[in-house]
Chains A and B, each alone.
Chain A
């Protein structure tokens, strides 16, 4: 592990963050530990961005927060409640929304059904939310009767994000939401993410388009080999020459 430039975000004095994965250690099945005591946290109304080299464990950390792999040590706390042992479904019920990096759509279902599935646990009227999403990604409205598996790469990504937004989550986790989307959509997407976060919903995302992402981030984590390498505000990280050179492409 490289040097710990800054302390992890959660300091005992401050009010506990809305979602925090503390000192998480664990891996897939019986394999080696991918995460080595990594800590990720996000506050209400905040955007936290995780960056780092490929294979650093960013996606793994997200999955760990979502209960998709068992942690050997560490814990996950949501809104003051320890949810380390809850199943992923139970976490969805608690309002967590997640867009995985890969396999993030239902390929044989139509775009509209994909969105509906996002709102599976909601009992209220979905139409308004669905309209909002079509407004955000107009192309999806045209394609709403088409099977999502037939879409282009960027269109699928839009479906995936749309699906998560349909949950009306209390915390939103996005794993590389902008991979493969065109600049204009990316801007739209970031705009929307900002909007969402302003309604008080904490947002945690992994990004390789790190420069743009950190610009809108309140907090940035640099993950290397499963551990926190740097942590700071988005601007801090952007300003740190070492971070720029090693992780943001100069």
Chain B
């Protein structure tokens, strides 16, 4: 689905992404892990068109999509969420979701004046869909609350919810799990699996919770210092010495000193 070829992204002299090459297979749920500052988010930003690469290419099903604008990629079915929630803070949760689908009739100025009937129909459908998503995310009681007033975790849920409003082909999830309650995260995991199996979405997700990764992802790609360090199944990764040293660590040292 996506192929990244020796991608570079530098900030001044700093090489945040330093020649990463990787492939995301169609229909897979690929995990992307790595220490803080490995360049994962930067890689996402480049793929999703939010940052131009310093060099290298990104291909989507063979088509060169390097440097396309985010909105163009959206219409190609490439969606992403943000690590730091980017909600539309002065709009209600419902509106946050309803604005997502592209190609709404009512987004044309002319139509907004002269095709009120058609817009009303579309809106009704959107509203239903948005309420379903909110229900699923367990925040339906907040549908009219301004998104800016949500709790940290709720914002991340909303972020995820936006990707559920449209038919996507590939979704990039940047730490959806961070700050989300584990019980709810399991439900979200189920949903991701369902979307993947039933609707054929491809996922690529950055996550630090190895349990969650282990439940969903195959393969897992490990990044470090802007490059791909290892790739393989979760088990392989967990056993990889280099990965343990750079990323996983060996657990708490002082644990026995408390309690």
Tell whether any CB of A sits under 8 Å from a CB of B in the complex. Answer: yes
Q: Counting CB contacts under 8 A, is A153 at the interface?
A: yes
Task: Give min CB distance, A206 to chain B, whole Å.
Answer: 10
Chain B, residues 183-226, CB within 8 Å of chain A (1/0): the string is 11110000000000000000000001110000000000000000
A166 to chain B, nearest CB (A): 19
A-B pairs with CB below 8 Å: how many?
A: 148
Chain B residues in 8 Å Cβ range of A51: 181
Residues of A within 8 Å of B163, CB to CB, are none
**Contact call B255/A208, Cβ cutoff below 8 A:** no
Do the beta carbons of A176 and B208 come within 8 Å of each other? no
> In the bound complex, do residue B182 and residue A249 qualify as a contact, i.e. CB atoms below 8 Å apart?
yes
B102 within 8 A of A: no
Q: Hey, which chain B residues are within 8 Å of A28, CB to CB?
A: 149
Q: List the 6 closest pairs (A to B, CB-CB), nearest first.
A: A249-B182, A154-B36, A54-B153, A184-B249, A179-B178, A180-B178
A42 to chain B, nearest CB (A): 14
A101 in contact with B152 (CB, 8 Å): yes
Instruction: Give the A interface residue count (CB, 8 A).
Output: 57
- Of residues 147 through 179 on chain B, the ones whose CB sits less than 8 Å from some CB of chain A are 149-154, 157, 175, 178-179
B residues near A (Cβ < 8 Å) are: 11, 33-38, 40-42, 83-84, 138-139, 142, 149-154, 157, 175, 178-186, 208-210, 246-255, 257-259
CB pairs A–B below 8 angstroms (21 shown): A53-B181, A54-B184, A101-B179, A102-B152, A139-B37, A152-B40, A154-B37, A155-B37, A179-B152, A182-B33, A182-B35, A182-B36, A183-B210, A184-B249, A188-B249, A194-B254, A197-B258, A209-B209, A216-B258, A246-B183, A248-B183
Majority SS at the chain B contact face: loop
Q: Answer whether residue A33 sits at the interface, using C-beta atoms and an 8 A cutoff.
A: no
Chain A nearest CB from B169 CB (Å) reads 26
Cβ–Cβ contact B181 & A54, under 8 A:
yes
In the complex, which residues of chain A have a beta carbon less than 8 angstroms from the beta carbon of B40?
A: 152
A208 touches B258 (CB 8 A): no
Name the residue on B nearest A151 (C-beta): B37
